[in-house]
Amino acid sequence: MSESVFIAQAGLAECPRKRRLPARLDLLQSGSGLILALFMWGHMFFVASILLGETAMWSITRMFEGYFFLGGSQPRLVSGVVAGVLLVFVLHALLALRKFPISFRQLQTMRAHVKAMRHEDSTLWIWQVYTGFALFFLASAHLYQMLVWPQNIGPYASADRMWSDGLWPFYLLMLLAVELHGGIGLYRLTMKWGWPNASRELLKKLKWALTAFFLILGLATLGAYMKIGFEHRAHYGERYQPEHLPTWLEHLAPQGDFAPPSERAPTPIHPLERQP
């Protein structure tokens, strides 16, 4: 075993100079939170594409699968992005744990403090703890699902997940947790680092406006998927396939996929379905 381990065990790791690590951990916590919050904004816009129609959502999904660039869908690309997000998420959770109340006494003290003080920013912090705790489980489950079954993202596949698989309450809870946690977190980042140097009142208003906007967008999106899922319940498992795309997009699609039916390559028949 190395010498440093024994020195650390003796409680002398910070002698004669203090460790630089806490500074880096603080930066990493802020940085990973910022990445996740910005990712969530982008993510929300992508999933909200369902509000523009099934074809819009299908096209965006396919774009991320490389369909328009690689000559075919590669859902593994989505898994790759999910793996990256999962890594940042785990790092952020690990670092944020340092700030959690870690004993009943601490939780009790903090709750009494927040309740008696009625100070908005302190109250927001305790909500960040609650929502962050919920996200340990909700976001982990969601990320795992997307990592392992990236092909199940699409207008019908996602809608079936909401309705026929009965996951809409899960997504509703996650939406509330993410939007509250991310909104408060971004506001706190600006307070923590003093950038941008705008007035606190303005930043607070902006924070609430953004939270309200993303919550409304998220609820509308969730509703849209539930509606499609309800209407599609009899055809559970069937995937969406648009007849046509906007012309410019059809040009990007692998050759022949959106050609007139007479020019289309015959759909390959699965070996098991072949007649003897």
Partner 1 sequence: MSAEQHNAPRKVTLNILRYNPQDENDIPRLQACDIEEADGMTLFIALNEIREHQDPTLQFDFVCRAGICGSCAMMVNGSPRLACRTLVKELPQVSTLTPLPFFELIGDLSVNTGKWMRGMSERLETWLHGVEENVDLRKIEARMTPEEADAVYEMDRCVECGCCVAACGTAQMRPDFVGAVGMGKIARFRLDPRDTRNDDDYFEVIGDDTGVFGCMSLLACHDVCPKSLPLKTQIAFLRRKMALIG
Which residues of this protein are in contact with partner 1, per CB under 8 A? Answer: 17-27, 98-99, 101, 106, 109-110, 113-119, 121-122, 125, 188, 191-195, 200
Least separation in angstroms between CB 20 and partner 1: 4
DSSP readout, 211-255? Answer: HHHHHHHHHHHHHHHHHHHHHTGGGTTPPP--S---HHHHHHSPT
Question: Which of 58/187 has CB closer to partner 1?
Answer: 187
Minimum CB distance to partner 1, residue 29 (Å): 9
DSSP 238: P
- Measured CA to CA in angstroms, residue 254 lies from 57, 88, 241, 268 at distances of 18, 33, 14, 16
Per the CB < 8 A criterion, the answer to whether 181 and 194 are in contact is: no
SS3 92: helix
φ, ψ of residue 102 to 5 degrees: the values are -110, 5
Shortest approach of partner 1 to residue 82 CB, angstroms? Answer: 30
Which amino acid is residue 43, in one-letter code? H
Backbone angles phi, psi at 264, to 5 degrees: -70, 145
Of 118 and 244, the one with the shorter C-beta distance to partner 1 is 118
- Between 11 and 194, name the residue whose CB sits nearer to partner 1: 194
Least distance from partner 1 to the Cβ atom of residue 38, Å? 19
Tell me which DSSP letter residue 194 carries. Answer: T
- Residue closer to partner 1 by CB (options 33, 154) is 33
* Residue 234: alpha-carbon gap to chain centroid: 29
Q: CB atoms < 10 A from the CB of 40, how many? A: 20
Torsion sign (Cα): 95, 96, 101, 102: negative
Name which of 17 and 244 has its Cβ closer to partner 1. 17
CB of 121 vs partner 1, minimal distance in Å: 5
* Least distance from partner 1 to the Cβ atom of residue 195, Å: 8
